[in-house]
Amino acid sequence: MYRYLLPLSLVAFSLPGSAQTTSVVPGNTYVAAGSNTARAAEPAAPLTLHAALALAMQSSPDLSAAQYELQAVEASVLQANVLPNPSMELGVEDKRRETRETTLLFSQPVELGGKRSARTRAAERGRDAASAELNATRAEVRASVIAAFFDVLSAQERLRLAQESAELAQRATTIASKRVAAGKVSPVEETKARVAESSVRLELAQARSELVSARKRLSATWGNPSPRFEKADGQLDNLPELPELPNLSQRLVSAPALARARHEVDRRQALAQVERSRRIPDVTMSLGVKRSEELGRNQAIVGVSIPLPLFDSNQGNVLESLRRVDKARDELSATEIRLDGELAQAYEKLSVARQDAESLRTDVVPGAQSAYDAAAKGFEFGKFGFLDVLDGQRTLLQAKSQYLRALSEAHRAAADIDRILGEPMSASKH
């Protein structure tokens, strides 16, 4: 008996389906050893925007997660292309050796209706969607780094401005104290000067805190919770360019979010085709041998098994998949409308911020600086009261703060446009 079972068992383990399942392990390329799971730490030196972008693209946790998702979906493409495994069935009838009948049967499912090709196309469309998601994540990370970098530049400038304001307030307090000691002004003037100095020092402490937070937000984009860089090295007052809105709208067609939505429609359509193919039942081919000890002979067994789709024709899953296709199409339309609105809004913010920054830089800040210098010099020579100096100082600080705010808004709006388009708004911008 066993001399017949051994050759058939060897045949079973040499079938194509079995060979495919065992050959996956040695050629596995989906475990990215030592890839983006390692977080990079920036050097303790001035940090440029280019270096910050390189760090984030290398070690961003969000980008690493999107890359692993793409690798996982690529593995599903491999799995979708494999054949179903055969099965082996061994049956023994009767305990007595003389009348025992032993049956060895091999069965191989055969997929009909294009199931394998439909399943593979669906997996490939899923891979395209994951690739589009990776591109969208890359654009998000890039925009986040740019916005965070210029926030650090702005916070550094605010701290420098607060330090200058503290020095000015201290000098004003010293001048007021000397004039009080000389009997030229009331002690109330010195009190006002000290109150103003205390207020400026509170603003200095707040500026330091804002800088610490901005540095952490920047280093978090590459997964480092404790920033090491000395300072952000860049030009905050270099305003981003402002291309024509129609040119940007034309480039919106290739935006990562739109590409992701289009690939999702394709994936849903491919999944609907998979559900349609499942309405056609598969057949199972059987081949085996039956050994009758009583008759002393072997009998060949050949069989075909065909399910009868009398009750379940997969109609519910087909209908669900079609509605998912409709949903994906509506989401694509919604994404187009949303991105168009976001682009117009970001463009308007950039335009307004550029105008405000130009006006503040050329007119407001120089005028406030002149007014403050005149008031301070006049107070030192006894021509103006200290209230005039405080008003001039407050006006100057407000003008410079508004200028920094306008610069930050401009760079943030430009980063939003880059995020929407998925690429730099202008090749020479950064």
Q: What is the pLDDT of residues 9-67, one digit of tens each?
A: 433 434 344 333 333 333 332 233 344 445 567 888 899 999 999 999 988 889 999 99
Report the predicted TM-score, pTM, of the whole model to 2 decimal places: 0.76
How far apart CA 200 and CA 373 sit, in angstroms, is 18
Kindly state whether residue 9 falls inside one of the protein's structural domains.
no
* Residue 385 pLDDT level (bands cut at 50, 70, 90): low
Range of the domain at 175: 47-228+239-421
Here the CATH number for the domain that contains residue 343 is: 1.20.1600.10
Kindly state whether residue 98 falls inside one of the protein's structural domains.
yes
Kindly state whether residue 34 falls inside one of the protein's structural domains.
no
- For the chain, the C-alpha Rg in angstroms (whole number) is 37
Residue 427 clears pLDDT 70, i.e. is over it: no
Which helix (H) or strand (E) segment holds residue 295: the answer is: none
What tens digit of pLDDT does each residue of 114-147 get?
Answer: 999 999 999 999 999 999 999 999 999 999 999 9
What tens digit of pLDDT does each residue of 87-116 get?
Answer: 999 999 888 888 888 999 999 999 998 999
Residue 3 clears pLDDT 60, i.e. is over it: no
Instruction: Determine the Cα angle at 171 with ends 170 and 174, to 5°.
Output: 90
What tens digit of pLDDT does each residue of 229-257 get?
Answer: 989 998 888 888 888 888 888 888 889 99
Kindly state whether residue 201 falls inside one of the protein's structural domains.
yes
Share of the chain above pLDDT 90, in %: 48
What residue type is 406 in one-letter code? Answer: A
What tens digit of pLDDT does each residue of 259-304 get?
Answer: 999 999 999 999 999 999 999 999 999 999 998 887 888 889 999 9
CA 180 to centroid of chain Cα atoms:
61
pLDDT given for residue 426 in this prediction: 64
pLDDT given for residue 8 in this prediction: 38
Kindly state whether residue 202 falls inside one of the protein's structural domains.
yes
pLDDT given for residue 97 in this prediction: 83
Kindly state whether residue 37 falls inside one of the protein's structural domains.
no
Residue 319 clears pLDDT 80, i.e. is over it: yes
Tokens 């693209």 appear where?
Answer: 57
pLDDT given for residue 276 in this prediction: 93
- Give the mean model confidence (pLDDT) for residues 310-330: 93
Q: What three-state secondary structure class fits 289?
A: strand
pLDDT given for residue 332 in this prediction: 95
pLDDT given for residue 271 in this prediction: 94
Q: Report CA-CA distances (Å) from 59 to 104, 217, 219.
A: 56, 15, 11
Core vs surface per residue 175-190: b (16+ CB within 10 A) or e: bbbebbeeeebeeebb
Kindly state whether residue 41 falls inside one of the protein's structural domains.
no
How many structural domains does the chain have? Answer: 1
Instruction: Determine the Cα angle at 63 with ends 59 and 66, to 5°.
Output: 140
Kindly state whether residue 318 falls inside one of the protein's structural domains.
yes
- Tell me the pLDDT of the chain averaged across its residues: 83
